[in-house]
Amino acid sequence: MSEEQALADAHARITDYRARIQHLDADSLDLIFREGRNHNWWQDKDVSDDQLREIYDLVKYGSTSSNTQPARLIFIRSAEAKERLRPCLMPANVDKTMAAPVTALLAYDLDFYTNFAKLYPVRPEMGERFANDAAVAQHFAFQQGTLQGAYLIMAIRAIGLDAGAMGGFNTEAADAEFLAGRNWKSNFLCNIGYGDLEGIKGPRLYRYGFDEVCDII
């Protein structure tokens, strides 16, 4: 397919879905946002490889600056891998993480810029900026990788699972245990599974209203 044909095809697909879907329905918005909770207790139900692949296949379509996609995921599921994670966790996070069917370690790749020719062919030379400034590369990778972490939570909920994101762990220990030999750095953890409602101990906590935190200028 030529570049012109590919562009025309992309325009046609966007036009088609916008004609079919102007707005997600209320149930979909409830599932992903309004009724989605951060879960700490988990049902004894497995999460399959296919579900994990489905999650990532949604995450990858979330936008990142210059299509850099620096997030990297380690899905920790086996009993052996969970035991390796245990000493990295703060005490308050041990039980819920051991009980979760899967724990995703969200990391970011400090060498993300090496694939610019493939990921952003319109300006492949942009990779040189990051190659020549490690601090800029680190900031960019963390920023864009965290953005992809938000997509991760939305994708988990969108396929009918629950998420329990947390930051209470020793990132240096996790790097040494799971990321050795790669130029990746840990960002946060997210437990994945079917939430146990017994763990929901009260109504949703307060959320700011628009007028409290937003300006239109």
Residues 6+ apart with CB under 8 A from 207: none
**Pair 58, 96 in one domain:** yes
**Pair 97, 129 in one domain:** yes
The C-alpha atoms of residue 136 and residue 140 are separated, in whole angstroms, by 6
The C-alpha atoms of residue 101 and residue 188 are separated, in whole angstroms, by 17
Q: Could you tell me the CA-to-CA distances from 24 to 20, 31, 159 in Å, in that order?
A: 11, 11, 15
- The four Cα atoms 58, 153, 151, 130 give a dihedral, to 10 degrees, of -120
Q: Name the residue range of residue 74's domain.
A: 36-213
Structural domain total, the chain: 2
Give the pLDDT score at 66: 95
Task: Examine residue 173 and state whether it is found in any structural domain, yes or no.
Answer: yes
Tens of pLDDT along the chain (217 residues) come to: 777 887 778 888 888 888 898 899 999 999 999 999 999 999 999 999 999 999 999 999 999 999 999 999 999 999 999 999 999 999 999 999 999 999 999 999 999 999 988 999 989 888 899 999 999 999 999 999 999 999 999 999 999 999 999 999 999 999 999 999 999 999 999 999 999 989 888 899 999 999 999 999 9
**Pair 76, 101 in one domain:** yes
3-state secondary structure of 109: strand
Instruction: Name the nearest CA neighbour of 105 among 83, 69, 80, 72.
Output: 72
Domain harbouring 149, CATH code:
3.40.109.10
Instruction: Name the nearest CA neighbour of 179 among 84, 46, 99, 83.
Output: 84
What is the DSSP-derived secondary structure letter of residue 128? H
**Pair 109, 69 in one domain:** yes
